[in-house]
């Protein structure tokens, strides 16, 4: 599971009541993870420790650098140590299968990826876009509106780190019938999605046809792109969409639902896939 949460000092101030209370608080852990392929650094991202191999594999797949989980022969944590001499497990080394090479180089970045953004620091706008190998627009998936509306609440029941800290995102992959297959949490919404894709790719080859990606965040460009690259035909988000997310969803033929709260949602692309009352 990793070092998901930790305890820190906290002073709670209630201005209205004039109360000051000091007691420990549980917060989500955020640490860097460096991913290396064949000994060469590919990226460094701020993440919540745990499911690091899923994150590493998912990142390589959703960034279009590899085509399948089988392209990776082995993964291991390097024996890096912190200032106190203890192992940090903050470096993952991936060895490619014989004859396999990266399909594209890592993005050229001007800064380390933060937990807030999966494409931050890309050196150019062209470097942001990853073209999917899969035609998600041709996926025949059909979704029931009631099932779709209930996915965020179902996801919420499987977020133990959020329950303790209120400080992490979650992503899950569900069937069209509403069964959650995999759920992962992370301080970075893009990391949570990569962890889900990596975990699923171990069990079945891409594309992840006929499935729905549900996220406890806004529908950003990078999440729509990761879904499309993994061959997921539908994305359900709790929060709002961005303009680029809508544009990419429309262009790729992905069904995008946002503001999915209670019993309602808003569709921004491919509404024909969703069966609604009336």
Element (H or E) spanning 108, and its range? none
Give per-residue pLDDT as tens, 214-265: 999 999 999 999 999 999 999 999 999 999 999 999 999 999 999 999 899 9
Q: Is residue 98 part of a domain?
A: no
- Asked whether residue 36 is domain-assigned, the answer is no
| Cα–Cα distance measured from residue 213 to residue 174, given in angstroms and rounded to the nearest whole number | 6
120 an active-site residue? no
Angstrom distances, CA of residue 89 to CA of 2, 27, 76: 9, 19, 9
Bridge partners, 276 (sequence order)? none
Residues 143/150, Cβ–Cβ less than 8 Å: no
Cβ neighbours around 70 below 10 Å, total: 12
Rounded Cα distance, 212 and 172, in Å = 8
Is the pLDDT assigned to residue 122 strictly greater than 90? no
Inside any domain, residue 31: no
Question: Which residue carries 């992503």 as its tokens?
Answer: 171
Question: End-to-end alpha-carbon separation of the chain, Å?
Answer: 45
Tokens of 123: 């050196």
Residue 184 lies in a domain: yes
In a domain, 39, yes or no: no
pTM of the model: 0.90
pLDDT tens digits for range 82-118: 777 777 789 999 999 999 999 998 876 444 455 455 5
Residue 167 located in a structural domain: yes
Catalytic residue among 78, 117, 120, 200: 117
Domain for residue 162, yes or no? yes
Give the residue numbers spanning the domain of 143. Answer: 136-275
Flag whether 151 is in a domain.
yes
Selection from 106, 124, 88, 118 nearest residue 227 by Cα: 118
The residue count of the chain comes to 278
CA nearest to 215, candidates 248, 179, 240: 240
pLDDT band at 124 (very low <50, low <70, confident <90, very high): very low
Q: Is the pLDDT of residue 73 over 70?
A: yes
Query: How many of the other CB atoms lie within 10 Å of CB of 107?
Result: 19
**How many structural domains are present in the chain?**
1
Burial of 39: CB neighbours in 10 Å, binned 0-12, 13-18, 19+: exposed
Q: Domain of 208: which CATH number?
A: 3.40.140.10
Spatial separation of the C-alpha atoms in residues 210 and 120, rounded to whole Å? 30
């Amino acid at each position: 599971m990793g070092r998901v949460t930790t305890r820190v000092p906290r002073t709670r101030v209630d201005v209205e009541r004039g109360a000051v209370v000091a007691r420990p608080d549980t917060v989500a852990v955020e640490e860097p993870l460096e991913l290396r392929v064949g000994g060469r650094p590919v990226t460094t991202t701020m993440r919540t420790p745990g499911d690091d191999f899923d994150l590493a594999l998912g990142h390589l797949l959703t960034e279009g650098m590899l085509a399948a989980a089988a392209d990776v022969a082995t993964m291991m944590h390097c024996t890096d140590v912190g200032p106190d001499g203890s192992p940090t497990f903050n470096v993952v080394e991936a060895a490619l299968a014989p004859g396999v090479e990266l399909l594209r180089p890592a993005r050229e970045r001007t800064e380390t990826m933060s937990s807030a953004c999966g494409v931050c620091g890309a050196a150019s706008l062209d470097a942001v876009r990853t073209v999917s190998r899969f035609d998600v627009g041709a996926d025949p998936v059909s979704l029931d509106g009631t099932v779709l509306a209930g996915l965020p609440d179902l996801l919420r029941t499987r977020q133990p780190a959020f329950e303790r800290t209120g400080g992490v995102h979650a992503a899950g992959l569900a069937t069209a019938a509403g069964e959650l297959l995999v759920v992962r949490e992370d301080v970075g919404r893009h990391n949570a999605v990569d962890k889900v894709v990596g975990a699923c790719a171990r069990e079945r080859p891409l594309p992840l046809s006929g499935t729905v990606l549900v996220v406890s965040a806004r529908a950003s460009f990078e999440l729509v792109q990761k879904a499309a690259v993994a061959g997921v035909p539908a994305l359900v988000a709790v929060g709002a969409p961005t303009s680029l997310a809508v544009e990419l969803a429309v262009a790729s033929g992905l069904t995008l639902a946002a503001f999915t709260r209670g019993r309602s949602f808003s569709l921004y692309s491919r509404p024909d896939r969703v069966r609604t009352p009336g």
